Amino acid sequence: MYDLSTPRIGVDESGKGDFFGPLVIAACYVGPEHLAELEGVRDSKQLTDPQALRLAGIIRRTCPHAMITIGPAKYNELYARILNLNRLLAWGHAQAIENCLEKVPNCGLVISDQFADPKGLRSKLKERGRGVELVSMVRGERDIAVAAASILARAEFLTRLNALGERFAMTLPKGAGPPVDAAGRRFLATHGADQLKEVAKLHFKTTQKIGAGPLLS
């Protein structure tokens, strides 16, 4: 088992449960030389949006990292082809890990949050990634490297979601539920169903709830 002084890459995602906005996957390398700069870094779900955005700036300046951002239009295209969120996540996590390993090729340990199928993630890794020890753990955000990755992913998600809102001149709420349903109906009334794929993940039940019908194909 590793300790806090073990250099490692953490990987996590944001946007998986959000109807609006992209899916963002971040990988972040943390070594003992970075710990002093990472005070306050913890699971992004325990942070306010301003806190996450502020800490993300510190992490970006301090730690080698890589991000995979899949905008809604590309997400819908990939999901229509793969039809399985865990496989899509495994692909994205593997890409982020590989890209981060290009910056820190001597890192031998990768920590991820518990995957439904950890073997699926390992199978997507390429030659460089297959040489590392991959640890998939429940509540992986307790590890500072995974927490740092979760903050990077959330900050990028928030930035991209805000940009989409500005593009279409309306507020796009996070998550899913009644406020998101209401925003979805307003979006349809203003921009039409054809544009929904540009801002939302169409396989969500929300798509039918707001009256857009089965748009994913």
Our count of domains for the chain comes to 2
**Whether residue 86 sits in one domain with residue 180:** no
**Whether residue 179 sits in one domain with residue 128:** no
Round to whole Å and give the CA distance between 20 and 41: 26
**For 133-139, what is the mean pLDDT?**
82
**For 2-21, what is the mean pLDDT?**
91
Q: Could you give the percent of the chain with pLDDT greater than 70?
A: 94
**Whether residue 181 sits in one domain with residue 102:** no
11 band by pLDDT with thresholds 50, 70 and 90: very high
**Whether residue 125 sits in one domain with residue 28:** yes
pLDDT at 124: 82
**Whether residue 189 sits in one domain with residue 139:** no
pTM value is: 0.93
Please, what's the b/e burial string for 30-46 (b: 16 or more CB within 10 A of its CB; e: otherwise)? Answer: beeebeeebeebbbbee
**Whether residue 174 sits in one domain with residue 126:** no
In a domain, 201, yes or no: yes
**Whether residue 158 sits in one domain with residue 178:** no
**Whether residue 148 sits in one domain with residue 177:** no
Higher-confidence position of 68 and 87 = 68
**For 10-16, what is the mean pLDDT?**
95
**Whether residue 87 sits in one domain with residue 149:** yes
115 band by pLDDT with thresholds 50, 70 and 90: low
- Give the DSSP per-residue string, 60-71: HHHS-EEEEEE-
Residue type, 151: I
**Whether residue 196 sits in one domain with residue 126:** no
Residue whose tokens read 């996070």: 174
3-state secondary structure 29-48: EECHHHHHHHCCCCCHHHCC
Cα-based distances in Å from 136 to 10, 114, 115, 148, 205: 10, 5, 7, 16, 29
pLDDT at 116 over 80: no
In a domain, 198, yes or no: yes
pLDDT at 2: 67
* HSE toward the beta carbon, residue 126, CA cutoff 13 A: 11
**Whether residue 101 sits in one domain with residue 203:** no
**Whether residue 46 sits in one domain with residue 150:** yes
Range of the domain at 182: 170-209
Q: State the chain's mean pLDDT as an integer.
A: 90
In a domain, 96, yes or no: yes
In a domain, 215, yes or no: no
User: Which contiguous run of DSSP H or E holds residue 102?
Assistant: helix 85-103
Higher-confidence position of 117 and 50 = 50
CATH of the domain at 56: 3.30.420.10
Smallest Cα–Cα separation from 91: which of 104, 78, 108, 72?
78
In a domain, 216, yes or no: no
- Among the candidates 127, 149, 164, a domain finishes at 164
Residue type, 207: T
How confident is the model over 206-215, as pLDDT tens digits?
A: 999 998 776 6
CB distance 156 to 24 below 8 Å: yes
In a domain, 2, yes or no: no
In a domain, 21, yes or no: yes
Smallest Cα–Cα separation from 32: which of 71, 66, 2?
2
In a domain, 1, yes or no: no
